[in-house]
A and B are shown apart, each in its own frame.
Chain A
């Protein structure tokens, strides 16, 4: 039994944040009655609390809709919602690997933004059919003409193949649905007859049913009872159930070529499933696996340590659980002389890092300290070998190093004309160069520039937003490693180096950063009974110093009547504060120190 492939459309929606991706998805679910009115709440696809709060979609949630088209036939639309933030390009490309088309949504009042550009490029690389969609045409400030021109000039896409809609009022949605039927190609029929091949593009963990891989059938079919094999890991299992997303997991008898769905086997360990792997069946075994897609490696690393050493196991199991639903997040145990036992964690970017940290605190209730984020450096040694280092504390001795290469990005920054010079200054301060400037319309330009990744991981985005009063947008892609004059900056407290504060930095900026870090630490480290020198050093040479003077007075010489309770509670609060501090040698350092040091980037 084969499904009629011509009745399937697999696509995703890509857009700059807030241009209406989620709203459009909601509207499509509504129009196809995929979600019954009673269940409907805005933005059904964004399910995690954190996503709702931050208004971003982190994870894609596939959904299958049945659309009765004008030609009288019913089509199965498989929509893969995608995250909007640059950090999650990985998730976007995963979705794209399972699609034939993409709706590129552009806000009719805002126009093309940086993520529009980056996502459009990504869709083109993946050979997707792109339908440009101008959204929010109900707005009085909507400017369809200008936006049409931007889409043509900047992205090289013609609006004659697109449409203008309002996801809010529903205007134009039917036309868009028809366009999807007409211009997005149906899945290709099996490229190889007699074999079954499905791409694993995601997976979730269900405590009752084990690991649930999300698959796109490329060739053949998968049904309950099939004996399947994951070609990459070699794991075999028997299929208990297959189904589609509507949007809840809904069982179907069989998943055929072109379809997107899930399978449930008897896989208990999430590590047995590799995203991008190929599933084949015992009946119709494939010899070669699918090309999969480029696995994006973590770009930003940070050490995460429990505040209380007793929480180590709890932190470990929390990280484990987090990594199940977030395959882009990696962790491995490491030890810091300053912080004890913890984990080196890899993230796609700083937002990703922040989200994981917040989840640990909020959902898993573990108090953590995280170290200064670092990128992956290529260290070329004098003996001709190269090692990758993502933790400054693991840097080989200076004398062994021939040279160091750091990761570079190409960034697209879109801003208003009058902000160009301020942003150019910022880019140059961050060791960047502007390759070209394209004007988008009379008000806005797009700058394409090259910058070291380590210059943007901390706070570049915050500066960009504040300089441009929130107008500028940015996205980027990784373009490899280049040689750079980097040095390791160490921070010494009371003469002892604290590895958790070490960072690699360009030589020209080391002194200024050292001074800032010392100052920031002086602000947050409480006075002790003794003098504490706070020093910054390169290769053991001190380049900056602050001094925390000793505590000489700490006494309430005050009348507090008989209110012993109040006084006792004040003292108890101080005691609790002290307990939360981390001890380095004889020095107690509060958690804020790690955050405020991070804020001194740039």
Chain B
């Protein structure tokens, strides 16, 4: 007799967190520590061990259709280190060539040599942390690269043979006019990337920006001004042929980031490295953001310290609804059946719409996506 086990993890993504940076950006709350070659070598060894342990734990090798190396600043690793990392990952992935293999790079650390190593390994997508095309803005954000570096980097990436390039931009930087933002958007488009992510500058605990705001030295733009900046991005980018497939993400048709889409749709992925998050079977877990603790555990062949978040079928459905709503395609009416009453009310308030049997955010709803999410969570509660 054959059983079909439904909760066998179907891991299709692999995420690697490289927690090194050459400095800290003023707004960034992601976990990072200063780059150190010896630490980086120890990290690579530990990552391999974690991968072994995790694969053992979930019981299957990840049939990773996508790999995403993020950070931190992965490009800060040396060519040799990048090569070693790629070799390790390839040896574990059970498909010969991942459909999408992304590496995040920073304009300050993109070299032809590193790119050559990555391309040889199979990397086919580069996400470049451009953030702005205005040197004053870059300086204010605490970035350690110039606009010229962005142009040089894009050229090098193309020369290395990677055409699938994504650019990250930050909207709503205080102290600069709308024209500066408009100009950034236009220069970004002129480079013809496949993908553009637009993030609003946010006040996050533990950042220098947060301290400056606390001291009263600076303040975020008003809600209205932030919305205006995000709307401007939508206007410019959609006119240039980029579809807004998620609240913060735009892409030319067919170039949506598969790895991220899977995350939002409730797909399963393994994350390795300090602060990396995973989703496999009926569980999510997140490694603690602590490089020393991570290394110590794995060097003694123990799994790193993790925060575990067990899921239930109901929770999974709820996540699918709440996070799926952030995507342009929305969620099917069947999936969202449990939230119908709340969705009806949100529709009356002009925040969501039902089209082709799919619920999706309206333009106003996109401004209030978290509000919608909280209301939907409330609906799940009432069952």
Contacts of A578 in B (CB 8 A): 374, 378
Could you tell me the dominant secondary structure of chain A's interface residues?
loop
Is there contact, CB below 8 Å, between B202 and A556? yes
Is there contact, CB below 8 Å, between A575 and B230? no
Bound-complex Cα distance A561 to B277 (A): 8
Interface size on A, residues (CB 8 A): 24
A569-590: contact bitstring with B at CB < 8 Å (1 yes, 0 no)? 0011011001100000000000
Which stretch from B51-59, B184-192, B365-373 is at the chain A interface?
Answer: B365-373
| Nearest chain B CB to A311 CB, angstrom units | 17
Is there contact, CB below 8 Å, between B381 and A575? yes
Is there contact, CB below 8 Å, between B202 and A558? yes
B342-383: contact bitstring with A at CB < 8 Å (1 yes, 0 no)? 000000010000000000000000111111011001100100
| Nearest chain B CB to A422 CB, angstrom units | 31
Residue ID in chain B nearest A549 by CB atoms: B223
A559 is an interface residue with CB less than 8 A from chain B: yes
Bound-complex Cα distance A574 to B226 (A): 22
A205-240: contact bitstring with B at CB < 8 Å (1 yes, 0 no)? 000000000000000000000000000000000000
Is there contact, CB below 8 Å, between B197 and A559? yes
Residue ID in chain A nearest B349 by CB atoms: A529
Bound-complex Cα distance A405 to B371 (A): 49
Is there contact, CB below 8 Å, between A557 and B371? no
Q: Are A552 and B367 also in contact (CB < 8 A) when A557-B199, A558-B200 are?
A: yes
| Nearest chain B CB to A514 CB, angstrom units | 28
Contacts of B130 in A (CB 8 A): none
Bound-complex Cα distance A220 to B381 (A): 66
Is there contact, CB below 8 Å, between B370 and A575? no
Is there contact, CB below 8 Å, between B230 and A557? yes
Is there contact, CB below 8 Å, between B286 and A566? yes
Bound-complex Cα distance A529 to B369 (A): 13
B156-198 interface (Cβ within 8 A of A): 168, 171, 197-198
Contacts of A551 in B (CB 8 A): 368, 371
A38 is an interface residue with CB less than 8 A from chain B: no
A49 is an interface residue with CB less than 8 A from chain B: no
| Nearest chain B CB to A404 CB, angstrom units | 45
Bound-complex Cα distance A565 to B223 (A): 26
Contacts of B370 in A (CB 8 A): 554-556, 571, 574
B307 is an interface residue with CB less than 8 A from chain A: yes
A568 is an interface residue with CB less than 8 A from chain B: yes
Q: Indicate the size class of the contact surface on chain B.
A: 35 or more
Contacts of A575 in B (CB 8 A): 374, 377-378, 381
Contacts of A557 in B (CB 8 A): 171, 198-200, 202, 230, 247-248
B333 is an interface residue with CB less than 8 A from chain A: no
Residue ID in chain B nearest A528 by CB atoms: B371
Residue ID in chain B nearest A567 by CB atoms: B323
A193 is an interface residue with CB less than 8 A from chain B: no
Is there contact, CB below 8 Å, between B277 and A564? yes
Residue ID in chain B nearest A577 by CB atoms: B374
B279 is an interface residue with CB less than 8 A from chain A: yes
Bound-complex Cα distance A322 to B13 (A): 59
| Nearest chain A CB to B194 CB, angstrom units | 17
B262-312 interface (Cβ within 8 A of A): 263, 269, 271, 276-279, 284-286, 307, 309
B70 is an interface residue with CB less than 8 A from chain A: yes
Contacts of A559 in B (CB 8 A): 168, 197, 199, 248
Q: Are A558 and B248 also in contact (CB < 8 A) when A564-B279, A564-B323 are?
A: yes
Bound-complex Cα distance A564 to B319 (A): 8
Residue ID in chain A nearest B373 by CB atoms: A571
Contacts of B279 in A (CB 8 A): 562, 564
Contacts of B381 in A (CB 8 A): 575, 579
B224 is an interface residue with CB less than 8 A from chain A: yes
Which of A529, A564, A567 has the most chain B CB atoms closer than 10 A to its own CB?
Answer: A564
| Nearest chain B CB to A84 CB, angstrom units | 42
Contacts of B374 in A (CB 8 A): 571, 574-575, 578
| Nearest chain A CB to B73 CB, angstrom units | 14
| Nearest chain B CB to A574 CB, angstrom units | 5
| Nearest chain A CB to B246 CB, angstrom units | 10
Bound-complex Cα distance A572 to B381 (A): 10
Residue ID in chain A nearest B365 by CB atoms: A555
Bound-complex Cα distance A519 to B31 (A): 39
| Nearest chain A CB to B29 CB, angstrom units | 9
Is there contact, CB below 8 Å, between B227 and A568? no
A160 is an interface residue with CB less than 8 A from chain B: no
B322 is an interface residue with CB less than 8 A from chain A: yes
A553 is an interface residue with CB less than 8 A from chain B: yes
Is there contact, CB below 8 Å, between B323 and A552? no
Is there contact, CB below 8 Å, between B322 and A571? yes
Contacts of A553 in B (CB 8 A): 223-224, 226-227, 367-368
A563 is an interface residue with CB less than 8 A from chain B: yes
Contacts of B133 in A (CB 8 A): none
Bound-complex Cα distance A209 to B371 (A): 55
Q: Are A565 and B377 also in contact (CB < 8 A) when A551-B371, A554-B368, A554-B371 are?
A: no
B15 is an interface residue with CB less than 8 A from chain A: yes
A393-426: contact bitstring with B at CB < 8 Å (1 yes, 0 no)? 0000000000000000000000000000000000
Contacts of B200 in A (CB 8 A): 555, 557-558
* Cross-chain pairs A/B with CB under 8 angstroms, 10 sampled: A529-B371, A551-B368, A552-B223, A553-B223, A553-B226, A557-B198, A558-B199, A559-B197, A565-B307, A565-B309
9 further A-B contacts with Cβ under 8 Å, apart from A552-B224, A555-B200, A564-B284, are A529-B349, A551-B371, A555-B370, A556-B370, A558-B199, A562-B263, A564-B279, A571-B377, A574-B374
Which residues of A approach B to under 8 Å, CB–CB? 529, 551-559, 561-568, 571-572, 574-575, 578-579
